[in-house]
């Protein structure tokens, strides 16, 4: 997962608390994505960004917000965590130019009790 | 709304077999299609990317084909090895290449 770091790798929190997950890239790619992966649902897009301060909603954006104040950082915030947000969260970047592959981070396992 | 399906959901084969994984999508207006591999507890690793104008891509023992008009892609794995055991996912991007819709994956087990 060269160039993409997610933090934290694991987090346990309580219902109703705010949670922020961080995705950091070192390669200056324009597009960044947040996905969640759940058994039976596969990977679903939460939010994505196409530049600094430019973000848009994905399929399952309710209860989540994002911010991108710098090219290299894309933050995902759960304003008030619920048990239904227990999941594995993946950040991805889309490479530019002729090679437009998605590169994924290692994921964050979030448990909301 | 784009929907992506993958058949079979799981597959178990003996080492050395050639195998084919299938991916279908409902909207043919795609920009590209990618195949990924995911090992348990890990992130996804991109294997092959096929642009909408291409018919196939090859990397080592892997070959991916794309028939955009029929909404299908196949991933061919030659001479399978136990190290190929993983979940394989396909994803299609929208016509702008911005958003990606993933299939549920095929869980492959290659038995020694």
| Mean pLDDT score across all residues of chain B | 94
Residue A104 to residue B32, Cβ atoms within 8 A? no
> If you average pLDDT over each of A35-44, B72-81, B90-99, which comes out highest?
B72-81
* Distance separating alpha carbons of residues A32 and A26, to the nearest angstrom: 12
Q: Tell me what pLDDT residue A5 has.
A: 95
The pLDDT of residue B97 is above 80: no
pLDDT tens string, chain A, 113 residues long: the values are 458 999 999 999 999 999 999 999 998 899 999 999 998 888 999 999 999 999 999 999 999 999 999 999 999 999 999 999 999 999 999 987 766 889 999 999 999 99
Q: Give residue A1's pLDDT.
A: 45
DSSP state of A55: E
* Closest chain A C-alpha to B67 CA, distance in angstroms: 19
Which residues have CB under 8 Å from A87's CB, separation 6+? A36, A37, A38, A110
Per-residue pLDDT, A95: 86
| Chain A nearest-CA residue for B6 | A42
Q: Are the Cβ atoms of B46 and A103 closer than 8 angstroms?
A: yes
Residue A101 to residue B99, Cβ atoms within 8 A: no
For residues B53 and B66, give the distance between their C-alpha atoms in angstroms, rounded to a whole number: 9
Q: Closest to B44 (Cβ–Cβ): which among A48, A58, A104?
A: A104
The residues on B that touch A, with CB distances below 8 Å, are 32, 34, 36, 42-46, 49, 89, 91, 93, 97-105
CB count in 10 Å sphere of residue A23 = 26
Question: Is the CB of B45 less than 8 angstroms away from the CB of A99?
Answer: no
Strand partners, B97: none
């Amino acid at each position: 997962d060269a160039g993409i770091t997610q933090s934290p790798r694991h987090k346990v929190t309580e219902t109703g608390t705010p949670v922020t997950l961080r995705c950091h890239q070192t390669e200056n790619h324009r597009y960044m994505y947040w996905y969640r992966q759940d058994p039976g649902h596969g990977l679903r897009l939460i939010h994505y960004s196409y530049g600094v301060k430019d973000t848009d909603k994905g399929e399952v954006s309710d209860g989540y917000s994002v911010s991108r104040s710098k090219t290299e950082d894309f933050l995902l915030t759960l304003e008030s965590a619920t048990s239904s947000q227990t999941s594995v969260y993946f950040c991805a970047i889309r490479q530019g130019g002729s090679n437009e592959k998605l590169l994924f981070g290692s994921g964050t396992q979030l448990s909301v009790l | 709304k784009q929907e992506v399906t993958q058949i079979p959901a799981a597959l178990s084969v003996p080492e050395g077999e050639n195998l084919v994984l299938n991916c279908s999508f409902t909207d043919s207006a795609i920009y590209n299609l990618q195949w990924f591999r995911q090992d348990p507890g890990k992130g996804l690793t991109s294997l092959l990317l096929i642009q909408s104008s291409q018919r196939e891509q090859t990397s080592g023992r892997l070959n991916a084909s794309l028939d955009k008009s029929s909404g299908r892609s196949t991933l061919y794995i030659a001479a399978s090895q136990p190290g190929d055991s993983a979940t394989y996912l396909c994803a299609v991007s929208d016509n702008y290449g911005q958003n990606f819709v993933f299939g549920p994956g095929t869980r492959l087990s290659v038995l020694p």
